Amino acid sequence: MKQKICVHTEGSYEIKSLTPQLSTHPTNLKNESRSLSKKIWANDVITWKLETDTTSIEGRKIEQEVFKLAFLQIGLYIPNRIVQLNKQTADADIRINFSKTDSFWTSHPSTLAFAYPPADGIGGDITFNTKNYIWTPDGKPMSVTKALDLGLISGFQNSNNKLKTFDVQHTACHEGLHAMGVPHIEKSACDGAVMNPYYNGQRIMLQCEIDYLQGMYGKKQPNATQLQNLRKRIQAGVPY
């Protein structure tokens, strides 16, 4: 069976059909016509795991924190819990990787990241393009000196230059929602949504996309204080 995947790019986007690789990853799914894959996760607890991190952010803790915030936000609105798996051996529903070598980047170099909607095997998996893009927790330009230090570039560079980077926090939420089955929401229907098809740096989910997610998984009313605090943390960004 072919699965649709999201191709989230800066300037254009497309939905691709790829045949998923087989995996022993056990999944529990149920039918839902509004999902990209026509399926959603059926378990009360949905799991995610950061399998590889990016060299453009030192250490691994910052990426973990960014994804934690992204999935906390998504999970606030639905009855299911979305939890992080830390165990090396455990297999998660949503597996996150930063990859230079994904063959998809060769034919789609402008793709920032992609995610598979709920399905067996690679369903739920998210991959960030580190072959052509630099990822940071804030999406702000990076100094050439820092990029040289991190080994992201080599050779002589004008040290006054700054390099463009992309916001992991926004993209984590966008791809995280795809991994739950949420499709793109066109700008005309919901301007400034995390799920607009093009990279926009938006980190806080708008009501229209919350409604879409809740339409599939059911509603949970978030605690107002908890929601406010989480939004503040997400807007402030993970310090690095």
| Residues of the shown chain interacting with Zn ion in the complex, contacts defined by CB under 5 A | 6, 8
Residue 82, CA distances (Å) to 94, 163, 187 in order: 10, 34, 27
CB of 187 to Zn ion, least distance (A): 13
Residues ≥6 apart with Cβ < 8 Å to 38: 31, 32
Least separation in angstroms between residue 5's CB and Zn ion is 9
Q: How far is the CB of 9 from Zn ion (least distance, A)?
A: 8
3-state per-residue secondary structure call for 142-198: EEHHHHHHCCCCCCCCCCCCEECCEEHHHHHHHHHHHHCCCCCCCCCCCCCCCCCCC
Rounded least distance, CB 8 to Zn ion, Å: 4
The first and second tokens of residue 5, run together, are: 């995947």
Contacts of 169 (CB under 8 A, 6+ apart): 66, 69, 70, 137, 138, 139, 203, 234, 237, 238
Task: Determine whether 160 is exposed, middle or buried from the number of CB atoms within 10 Å of its CB (0-12, 13-18, 19+).
Answer: exposed
Residue (8 or 170) nearer to Zn ion, CB: 8
Q: How far is the CB of 100 from Zn ion (least distance, A)?
A: 21
Q: How far is the CB of 70 from Zn ion (least distance, A)?
A: 14
Question: Would you say 4 or 8 has its CB closer to Zn ion?
Answer: 8
- Name the nearest CA neighbour of 57 among 115, 139, 125: 139
Quick one: tokens of 99? Answer: 């990859």
The bridge status of strand 45-50 relative to strand 3-9 is: unpaired
Quote the crossing angle between the two packed helices 224-236 and 61-76, to the nearest 10°.
140
Rounded CA gap, 195 and 171, in Å?
Answer: 10
Nearer to Zn ion by C-beta: 10 or 51? Answer: 10
Nearer to Zn ion, 8 or 95 (CB): 8
- The nearest distance, CB 151 to Zn ion, in angstroms, is 29
Residue nearest to Zn ion (CB): 8
Residue closer to Zn ion (CB basis): 117 or 237: 117
Q: Of 91 and 211, which CB lies nearer to Zn ion in the complex structure?
A: 211
Nearer to Zn ion, 149 or 186 (CB): 186
